[in-house]
Structure formats: C-alpha cells, structure tokens
Chain A
Amino acid sequence: MRIGVFVCQCGTNIAGTVATDKVAEAALAMRDVLHAETLQYTCSDPGQRAIIDAVQKKGLTRVVIAACSPRMHETTFRRTIGQAGMNAYMMEMVNIREHCSWIHSDIDTATDKAIDLVQKGVARVRRQVPLYSTTVPVTRRVLVIGGGVAGIQAALDIADSGLPVTLVERGPTIGGNMARLDKTFPTLDCSSCILTPRMVEAKQHENISLMVNTEIELVRGYIGNFEVDIRKKATCVIEDKCTGCMICQEKCPGKAPDEFNAGVGQSKAISIPFPQAVPLVAALRKEHCRRFIKGKCGVCKKVCPADAVDYEQEDEITTEMFGAVVVATGYELYDWREAYPDYGGGQYPDVVTSLQYERMLSASGPTAGHVQRPSDGAEPKQVVFVSCVGSRDESVGRPLCCSVGCMYIAKQAILTKEHIPDSQSYVFYIDIRATGKGYEEFTRRAQKEFGAIYLRGRVGKIYPSNGQLVVMGTDTLSGGPVEIEADLVVLATGFAAARGAGELARKLNISYDQYEFLSESHPKLRPVETTTGGIFLAGACQAPKDIPDSVAQASAAAAKVIGLLSRGEIETSPMVAAVDQLRCIGCFKCRDVCSYNAIEALELRDGRQVAKVIDSLCQGCGVCNVACPPSVVSLKGYTDNQLIAETMELLR
C-alpha cells in the first residue's frame, strides 16, 4: 500500500493558521505514507499536476488531500487521480480549512488538530476499495408543476427544444397570479395582454400536454426516472366537450367566493375564472354547489348545450414517468388578518389587500375598472397605501422582504390617479426598494408626476370614524405622528409560499425554509437546482420575486433540464448501500426506513428472502445502514470498518 498526502496552503487561508510544512512532515511518519508535500493551491493547474506526477513517479495507490470541504473540490480531485490512472474513489479529502484553519487562531493548536485530521484520513483511505459508477438511461419527458408565468415559461422553453412536457396546474386555469394583475411595473404594460399569448401558446404547443385541476399525488424514483402519480380532480365537467360558452355560469343559482378576483365580488358554483382562461373550460366547486349541498338542482346540466356536465365524475389518478421535474408553484399573499388586529383584522371592508385592489383597478375585474370601495360603492378620493404588511415585520414573525411591494404600490398609486384624477394617494413606507431596471425612476414618477405623498414610517392603527377610516402612523422624517382620513386603505401584503408548498416539497423530497419557500441547492452557484438531482425550481416558489426574475429563473431551469436530458443516460454514484446477502436475516427494516424505495426483496435459491439494493435508486444516505439489526447493510465508500478506523485513530 503506497499512500500520498498532499497538504494545501490555500494561499494564507490554511497556511495562515496551520503550519502546513509540519503537517506534511508528520504525515510522512504515518503508516504506509510514502509521499507527503505541501502545495500553495492544490486545486490549481500546477497543484493538480504535482499530484499526477507524484502518483505516477512513486506509484501511489491511495491519496489523501488535506484542503477545503469536499463540497468544494472532491469532484476536482477525483478527476485528477483518475487522470493519473487511479480509481477515482481511492482518495480521501480532509477538511483542514472550514473545520480547522478558519475556526482557530492559535497556530500550534490548529496544526496539531490538522495532523490529527490527516491521521484520520490516512486510516480511512487505507481501507478504501475501488468503486465503479454505472449509467442508467433517462426518460426524456419533463414534468412542470405550476402554471403561472414561471411554469409556462419553463414549459415553453423545454418544449421548444423538442422534449415532451406535462404542465400540471392545481387551479382551473393557467396564468397564475400574473393573470390577475392589471398592469405591470415599471412599463405599465397590460399584464394579461402580454401573458395571454404565452398561455395560448402553451395550450397549443405540440410538445406540451396541459393538465388543469390536477395535483401531484406521489413521487417515486430518482433523477432521470421519476415515477409520478398525478391526480386529476373531478370538476363535474367533461373537458373535451365543454365549449366555454359560460351559459352554465350565467344560470347557476349557487353563489361562491370569487377566488380569481381575490374575494372582490362573487362567482358561481360552476364557473370559468375569467374570459381568457386557458383552457376555457368550466369547473364545478362541489362545496358551493346546491346539488351537492342540498341534493337539489341540476340547472347546469340542463342548460349545457354541449352535454358536458357529469355529476358522477370522479378523481382520476394516472402514473407517468419523467426524467426531470420543474417546480414552479409560485406564491400567494400572506394572510394578514390574524396578525394585524391593529388594522382591523379584516373587519373593515374598506381595508383591502393589494391584490384585491389590483382586481378593482382591472378593466376585466368585477367592477370593470371603476374603483369602488367595498363598503358603499363610492369612489374613493383619499387612498392610503401601507407597505410591508406581513413582510419586514419581526413582530409577526415575517422578517423577509416581499421584494415587489414598493414597486406595485408605486404602480397602484399611479393607476389610482389615472382612474380618479381628483384623488390623493398616500404611501407609508419603510424604505423604497427599487433596484431593478427603470424601477427607481418609476417610484419617482409616482411622486412627481402623479403626486403620491410618501411618508416614511409604519402605520400603527386603522380605525373607523364617520364613515371613513382614520390611519394613524408616524412620519419619521418630520418626526411626528400623522393621521389621514382615508376612504380606502390598501395593504401591501407580503408574499407567502403557495398553500401546500411544504407538503409538495416532502413528496418531492426537496428542502424548504421556515416560510415553506423551496430551497435552492446553493444560493449563488446552483440557484435553480434543488438538493435532489433532477428537480429544479422556477419563480416565486423559491423566494419572493417579480415577473422578470421569475421568467429568467424559469428559462435557467429549462436550460438545466435540457442539458440533463440531452445526454440520454446519466452516471450514478457508486457510493450506495450494499447488503451482505449471506448474513441478511430478511427483516426488511432497511426497506421500511428507505425514503427512496431503493430496497426490494430477493428470493435466494434456498427460498430465503433477503434485501437487495437497487443501485440506480439508492442515494447513499446511510439510513438502512443504521437500521439493520445484524449490521449487514453497508454504504460503499463509508463502510463501518472505515468509520471505526477513523474514530479509533482520533481516540488513540
């Protein structure tokens, strides 16, 4: 056995605190170590060449590299020793940067610790065996979850590359929140005018199969081959037959909340959310339908000219294979009511959310673009905007910035002036965050050209008085309390993850943060990947985002998917679990604990049932290793005897 140890200085990152020469010197005295040297930057070209030289000249069979975290450069060095003619897994990385030099200040102590860590690495590498990866073919089909602007963009980009895409949307139409917006900042483009062509394109694209009223039931499998159960919810309408004539909606006697209009106005139990919905198909909500509540009624079925209504319809679950998944589940507005009793907690009808106000401004909204306050239908003259409701507010547990509130307030203040020329808008803000292209200029316009009065401070209380609302706040610039008698108060409510985002994340086995926003693999360098291979993120499901950012991320996710599936097959990690079948007692505890369904039963010739690992599914998490009562499951590259040898070395 011929072991080489390479100690990285990482400039002064390591050498500033660890005497790397001493570490190399100490390494030379360790068992089977034939070669040890320090290198200024091991990951650099000369550094890698030095490793290859040493391997080839001294005939090294194992290599220990004491440098940074394996998360940084393990793949780099595997490739290096591969080039030197070794098996890429006959190597061990010892982290003497994050685990040592960066966290200590005393040189002697840090050096001693680095030597101990190298000793540990040497003990482990002595027990390494060559490992070989295999390849598995991939399914060249893609699942996109969520039909908002991000999902549509990702689906179109992927479909344009020739890959078949299934676009799944939970609601009755694609379009997401963007379809509800009146105008977009900072250009004041009509939101639906720019979105609906993309919606139609998605519907008509030959490579996109669009499924609405559909949710993800169960996900199995692994990068390249996901097996997904998809639940198509019963809507009591046969999609192929429905012509979107809306006669059923007109005649339906059952009132229902208007979700598309954010609760402004009312809808019917059977309805189409808006005239440009894609697909233009009605859906029936059983919880509001007289037939299902009271057992009487059948008007929609009677009036439907296409005979598309079917009360007996049931949920359908289909199972499909996909090579990659793009999650684009978007956001919803934070429900402010419970957390803000000071603003009336939802009791005052004239305190509305920004999305409700958006629908009141929209020409296709329930008031046809005439701004009417909910309490009495009067046109408001004094409109107060309150920033950061449910965002940047630690007292309600939401310290995050919604990133778009400042901009949409400026937009809504401009639109208010356009709709009601003799109106006055007031904006309470903490800071004006306008960092995008043309954004700062836009917020200035709202003030200078459209006369919105900006007051820097929070609103403490809103209360009704003489048919108006009194908004009590502070103006921290003039240093005094402010009170405004408002006809309408618009709360710039922050972003929350879409309802059920965490549940979906658990099905997909991807991680999420405390607000249920889905987590990217690396905040800088892997912004669209998740920690699970083959699953990518797009849009506001990851963090609050505006439209351009969502679209950009969607295209990035699409590029990743296309890159992944263009190869046709993918290499699997050889560091997977293995069962010693001679000693396996067939209790299948390993199968019970496996999150990846990577263990199956195998019948031996003598009729004995034993566990078998499906290499292509195993993620090498090691849970089965721990669960196995007779300890006969081991993880390749992390076997028990390797870990014990390491530990013994430290305890010595």
Chain B
Amino acid sequence: MNNRSRKDSAAIKAPASAKPGRNAYSYFPGCSLTGSAGEYDASFRLTSEALGIRLDEISDWNCCGASPAPHHWSGNLGVLLPARNLHIASGEHEAMVAPCAGCYNRLKNAQHELTGSEELREQAARVLQEPVRYEIEILNLVELFAREVSPEALAERAQGRLAGLNLATYYGCLLTRPAKIMNFDNHRNPVSMKPLLRATGAQSDHFPFKSECCGSYMGLAKKEIVLRASRRVIEVAAGLGFDAIVTACPLCHQNLDLRQGQINKAFGTSLDMPVLYYSQVLGLALGLGSDDLGIDAHAISARKLLAKIGKGDDGPAAATRSAPAATRPTPEATRSAPAANPASRRQVGCG
C-alpha cells in the first residue's frame, strides 16, 4: 500500500455504526491499476479504508494472464500465470479482490479450468514446485462492496451527498461473462452496483446498455470498432439524461473516457460524458476529495457533475447544494463538506 493513501485515509474515521475491519482481503492490483488506471487503485484503497476494509496486496504477484500474449498464443500460460497468483493468495486470505474486470475474469476462468483439469493442476505444480492451491474466493470490487457495505450504513454516512445525480451503471462484458463461470448476479441484467449507488443519494435509472460491448481491446487492432461501440454507449447514456457512467473496468474506462475525444473527432459529435470508477463514486459519497480519488485525472472533466453536488468551483450553486450538508451531525462530515471553501477540499485528505 502506498504511503499517500494510508496517510490520506487516516483522516476519515468511520462512525460507530459501521464496524471497521470486518474483513481482510488479498488485493490483486494487476498492471492497469499500477499504470494507466492509477486513480482506480487510489480510489479503491481510499474508499476501502474509509469503509473499514483491509486490503493486503498479494506479495510478489505477477501478470494475471489476460494480456493477449499468454492468453491467445501461448497455450497454458493463460492459466499458469493466474495459477501462481491464486496459489500465493490462497496462503494469505480466504478471499481476494481483483478490481480490474480483466484480471477478475482471467483469474476466475483459470480457477474454473484448474478445477476441471488434473493435467493443468499437475503442470501448475511443476511450475510452482509444490501442489497448487487455487481454492481462494475471487471477488471483484463491486462484489466486495456489496458484501461488506450495507446500503443503510452507507446512506447514513453519505447523508445524500450525491443527490441530484443520475448515474448509469455500466458493467461491460468481463464482469459477467461467461455467465456460468463468472456467476456475477444476473448476466443479462446485472444490478450489483445499484443498491449502494442509490444509498449515496444519487438516482440510478435502468441503463439499457449496461452490459453492451465497449469495443474492448480492439482499440489496438481496429480502432473504428471501439469508437463505434463506445460512441453508442455514451450516446445512449446522454440521451437518457445520465450525468455520468459508472464502471468497474479499466479497459471500459479507457475506451469510454480516454477515447471520447477521438469519438468526437471521428464522428463530429460533441459528447461530454464523465466516466467514473465505482470506487470514486463511493469515495465521493463518503466525503473524500475528488482529486484524491483521481477524478480530475480523467480525460473528460467531471467539473459540471461535481458542481451539481456542491463540489465544483462555481460558488452559489455549490453553496445551495451543500446547505443540507452543513447541518450534518458527525464531525468527519463537517470536515469533508468542502464546497463552502474550495481550499478545504484539499485538506480532507491530509486531515
């Protein structure tokens, strides 16, 4: 765990109603969260800590196996690489969390394949030089939060901070498919994010494109496909009046957020749809600072959205929005009501 997040989150004390440290999990960040999706990692660590969830990064973890090279070209590497991660994690905790949907998908698939094949288990044992352990429960962060945080407890702490927003839940494909292996709520209509999002005070209407394809890694080989697919997802969300798309997948985020400019250029559109990580939204609801959560690291600015919930720079609107927040009883809440003074927003993290 990096120092910054530990120091930052120390400022947020959990109220007595939420039991801290209820459970500890092995944490598998994977390459995305240590690189291009650094804000996903930061917001996940911050939010987890604020919610009293302990994350222990898996020691000496390696590639999850989902990158095209091992997955498609090298036979069993797509299973043996995750097998090593599962093996190490199985010795540390009963459950592990992989926030990246790609890692999550590959780890669960590898676990499924190991369960079904003695040959693979033997191969893994040869590589590891001991019998492979792979029985650990694998969770995505959506499942982790759904398990660890009750909507009532979150609602009590969020005090309706995100009221006024309508958030589109976007699950993509990797969290839910193949359905029989992933077992992720309902693959045709996943709903796991909804209860907690609503507990933040936000609205979260049915988003018909919640599991539609974003174009995935076709961005490398045939960019047009990604631009077309992601454009649709964003356009439908905009057409239905959503303020932001909420995702739990770095690749979806990249296609929807980073490529939104490319989409506008290619099609002459003027899309301006913020795309937030689920952990960032929950962090906002808990009163964490938007820059600590990495929201300003995105290509599409969330300024308008933040203004709507009283976190923007435009004073009057923000002031009216945060008016109920001022009456919040808990000390931590007062501290994290940043709108009245934008400067204080930065202090939240440092306490």
Contacts and interface: CB of A to CB of B under 8 A. Distances in A.
Given A341-B188, A345-B189, A347-B206, A461 B239 contact: no
A465 B189 contact: no
A341 B236 contact: no
B294 to A, nearest CB: 31
A341 B209 contact: no
B239 A344 contact: no
A461 B240 CA distance: 15
A152 interface: no
Contacts of A340: 188
Interface residues of A, number: 14
B313 interface: no
Contacts of A514: none
B212 interface: yes
A627 B186 CA distance: 45
Interface in B317-339: none
A355 interface: no
B351 interface: no
B91 interface: no
Contacts of A466: 239
Contacts of A461: 208-209, 212
A465 B209 CA distance: 12
Contacts of A462: 208
Contacts of B240: 464
Contacts of A339: 188
Interface in B186-218: 186, 188-189, 206, 208-209, 212
Interface in A439-474: 461-466
Nearest to B212: A461
A342 interface: yes
Chain A contact residues: helix, strand, loop or mixed: mixed
Interface in A335-363: 339-342, 344-345, 347
Interface string B235-267: 010011000000000000000000000000000
B236 A465 contact: yes
B186 A463 contact: no
Contact of B209 (A344, A347, A463): A463
Contacts of B236: 463, 465
A339 B188 CA distance: 8
Given A464-B240, A465-B239, A341 B212 contact: no
B239 A342 contact: no
A344 to B, nearest CB: 7
B168 to A, nearest CB: 12
Contact of B189 (A341, A463, A464): A341
Interface string A249-273: 0000000000000000000000000
Interface in A477-533: none
B230 to A, nearest CB: 16
Nearest to A470: B236
Contacts of B206: 344-345, 347
A79 to B, nearest CB: 54
A345 B191 CA distance: 13
B158 to A, nearest CB: 26
Contacts of A344: 206, 208
B186 A341 contact: yes
A390 to B, nearest CB: 13
B188 A342 contact: yes
Nearest to A341: B189
A651 B240 CA distance: 75
Nearest to B206: A347
Nearest to B179: A395
A464 B207 CA distance: 10
A465 B206 CA distance: 14
A96 B206 CA distance: 62
Contacts of B239: 465-466
A340 B188 CA distance: 8
Contacts of A395: 188
A395 B186 CA distance: 12
Contacts of B208: 342, 344, 461-464
A466 B239 CA distance: 8
Interface in A375-433: 395
Contacts of B186: 341
A69 to B, nearest CB: 38
Nearest to B207: A463
A461 B239 CA distance: 16
Residue of A340, A341, A465 with most partner-chain B CB within 10 A = A341
Contacts of B189: 341-342, 345
A360 B201 CA distance: 40
A462 B236 CA distance: 12
Nearest to B190: A341
Nearest to A483: B232
A6 B330 CA distance: 94
B256 to A, nearest CB: 17
B177 to A, nearest CB: 12
A466 B236 CA distance: 10
A339 B189 CA distance: 9
Contacts of B188: 339-342, 395
B85 to A, nearest CB: 32
Nearest to B191: A341
A464 B205 CA distance: 13
A467 to B, nearest CB: 11
A554 B239 CA distance: 53
Contacts of B209: 461, 463
Contacts of B212: 461
A210 to B, nearest CB: 45
B29 to A, nearest CB: 32
Nearest to B236: A463
Nearest to B205: A347
A462 B208 CA distance: 8
A616 B109 CA distance: 61
A342 B209 CA distance: 9
Interface string A313-352: 0000000000000000000000000011110110100000
A111 B209 CA distance: 64
Contacts of A342: 188-189, 208
A555 to B, nearest CB: 43
B184 to A, nearest CB: 14
Nearest to A345: B189
Interface in B135-167: none
Interface string A202-218: 00000000000000000
A425 B188 CA distance: 27
A395 B189 CA distance: 13
Nearest to A347: B206
Nearest to B186: A341
A466 B206 CA distance: 16
Nearest to A343: B208
A223 to B, nearest CB: 46
Contacts of A345: 189, 206
Interface string A24-36: 0000000000000
A30 B206 CA distance: 77
A287 B186 CA distance: 33
A341 B240 CA distance: 17
B237 to A, nearest CB: 10
A340 to B, nearest CB: 8
Contacts of A341: 186, 188-189
B209 to A, nearest CB: 7
A372 to B, nearest CB: 24
A345 B240 CA distance: 17
Nearest to B187: A395
B271 to A, nearest CB: 15
A626 B311 CA distance: 76
Nearest to B235: A465
The 7 closest A-B pairs by CB, nearest first: A341-B189, A463-B208, A341-B188, A465-B239, A347-B206, A342-B188, A463-B236
Given A341-B188, A342-B208, A461-B212, 8 more contacts: A341-B189, A342-B189, A345-B206, A461-B208, A462-B208, A464-B208, A465-B239, A466-B239
6 contacts: A342-B189, A345-B206, A395-B188, A461-B212, A464-B208, A465-B239
